[in-house]
Amino acid sequence: MLPVRKEIIARLASLTGLPEPEVETSLEIPPDPTLGEYAFPCFPLARRFKKAPQLIAAEMAEHDWPSDYVERVESVGPYLNFHVRRSYLYNTLLPQILREGPVYGILAEGKGKTVVVDYSAPNIAKPFSVGHLRSTVIGNALCRLYRSLGYKVVGINHLGDWGTQFGKLIVAYRQWGDANRLLEEPVQYLYHLYVRFHQEAESTPELEEEARSWFRRLEQGDREARELWEHFRALSLEDFQRLYRYLGISFDSYMGESDYNDRLEETIELARSRGLVKESEGALVADLEPYGLPTCLLRKKDGAALYITRDLAAAIYRHETYSFDQMLYVVGAEQTLHFQQFFKLLELMGFSWAGNCTHVPFGLIHFKDGRMSTRQGKVIFLEEVLKRAVELAREIIEEKNPSLNEKDSVARAVGLGAVIFGDLINDRIKDVEFDWEKILDFAGETAPYIQYSHARVCSILRRAAAEEMISANGMDTELKETTTSGDAAPLKVHNSFGEPEEETLIIAMAHFSEEIVRAVRDNRPSYLARYLLELARGFNKFYHNCPVLTASEEIRQRRLQLVAGVRIVLRNGLALLGIEAPQEM
């Protein structure tokens, strides 16, 4: 936490008698910068002090606030507004940003704590759909955000690798399967077989019984069934992993639904011992009606366990293995009821940590451009979406900057960035409409806009470096990852603090880590996405109104430092969302 924020929180806590964490959560960032950098709402104190919040704010403002960090404190209505010293921002914070570089904004709030993040989790033989895209993108951003706060993060891909669809697949593959096509594009081909099975089963209903029988054989460990299943699973996994690599994502565990097969009985027994299980027409169910939830099936009458049974077993296993402090399930809102039932059962089974499990739901996604949805029936394959995004990005780059070096890697960063940011900028709970033009608009609320701003920043710094003016000041002239070592000449002390556009930038940079904390607290990467967008906008306004390279020496130095700071924050922030920032575009 920045020392200025720390100081404000500590002093507010001692003045009001509120605990620090409570002060911290209520401390706001005023929407209008003329109101200062921090605002404390006094409403919650009204009851405690038996006074109107306006009065409390006015009285608190009289306190002796000024310090090395705080210049003045004013009351505006029920708010207490804090104005931070410019000399602190320009002479202490700015050098700190430049010194810390890639680690600026990274706090250690989560040190010693473990979070499990269950995300992506596609189903084998059913397509990796855009719904899984949302889980993948949001889950990956959350993993990076938590990790940046020092949490130990365990990213788990709970693969959908078990279920009756494998009986169908085995039947379809034995009848119509082509080994080479399966090797070429496993995920698509298995889905194709799955669809074909359903088509054929319409005229040949016996296929259904055959599929059920093959699934039983699989469950009983039949060698042929088992081998085919393993083959399908391994190929699909490789295919998924290729996509994850392309997106720069990796998981700590790929334990999927099938990996809990040998723990299901135990799990059901445990539920039974707590009096939670009833028999109903040969099946086993858990009655949750007393808790206002529908009854749920734990085992079918043919002995097959269900999705929720596997989730129970998996959660128990994960708690034994990782003893997590928190577990997040990044799964679409359509599964809300499932998670309510599942968490309730955990609690009733006596696991006090059930309360540390959270469903992080998100809305649906649809494409404005019908093109994506017609190629493969109703289904959209993630791979196609990504390829198309990169192709479109490549076309735009070709048109805007035909002489650019390394067009391929830039197109990849921009195309993938557009898709990722196009998702993350939305409050996750809302549905998203995917509109190619919108997400790739270089002037819109997009990754390409931020990336382009970042590339502009880099170009200013390159030109300045070329003029060999800033190297002595400890800025990384070659734009290397590493920051300068301690023996670089100290930055010059600023005595004048510049235009409003400069203020906006330095203040926004000061709030970076707070935005990360906020995003983690609500599991909403959208906060950080929005923040980066505002910072990029602030930079463009600044650049439009405040000359940098042609300014007089003192101002030029100050502005170059600001620009270097912007580069660091944009780059670090994009990385936390899983987006690359090319130096040229």
Work out how close the CB of 233 gets to ligand ARG at its nearest, in angstroms, rounded to a whole number: 14
CB 128 within 8 A of CB 187: yes
In this complex, which beta carbon is closest to ligand ARG, that of residue 361 or of residue 474? 361
In this complex, which beta carbon is closest to ligand ARG, that of residue 146 or of residue 162? 162
Using only the alpha carbons of the chain, give its radius of gyration: 28
- Of residues 48, 25, 51, 41, the one with CA closest to residue 82: 41
Work out how close the CB of 343 gets to ligand ARG at its nearest, in angstroms, rounded to a whole number: 12
Work out how close the CB of 307 gets to ligand ARG at its nearest, in angstroms, rounded to a whole number: 7
In this complex, which beta carbon is closest to ligand ARG, that of residue 360 or of residue 447? 360
Cα 213 from Cα 191, distance rounded (Å): 20
CB 142 within 8 A of CB 333: no
In this complex, which beta carbon is closest to ligand ARG, that of residue 316 or of residue 535? 316
Work out how close the CB of 198 gets to ligand ARG at its nearest, in angstroms, rounded to a whole number: 18
- Of residues 391, 410, 416, 388, the one with CA closest to residue 579: 416
Work out how close the CB of 369 gets to ligand ARG at its nearest, in angstroms, rounded to a whole number: 24
In this complex, which beta carbon is closest to ligand ARG, that of residue 116 or of residue 397? 116
Work out how close the CB of 333 gets to ligand ARG at its nearest, in angstroms, rounded to a whole number: 12
Cα 143 from Cα 570, distance rounded (Å): 19
Q: How many degrees, rounded to 5, is the angle at CA 480 between CA 476 and CA 486?
A: 50
272 burial (CB, 10 Å; 0-12 / 13-18 / 19+) is middle
In this complex, which beta carbon is closest to ligand ARG, that of residue 329 or of residue 343? 329
Beta bridge partners of 117: 155, 328
Cα 34 from Cα 158, distance rounded (Å): 48
In this complex, which beta carbon is closest to ligand ARG, that of residue 273 or of residue 336? 336
Binding site for ligand ARG (CB under 6 A): 118, 121, 123, 158, 160, 311, 329, 331
Neighbours of 59 (CB within 10 A): 15
* Alpha-carbon separation of residue 57 from 35, 49, 78, 241 (angstroms): 14, 11, 6, 56
In this complex, which beta carbon is closest to ligand ARG, that of residue 121 or of residue 170? 121
Work out how close the CB of 579 gets to ligand ARG at its nearest, in angstroms, rounded to a whole number: 24
306 burial (CB, 10 Å; 0-12 / 13-18 / 19+) is middle
Work out how close the CB of 345 gets to ligand ARG at its nearest, in angstroms, rounded to a whole number: 13
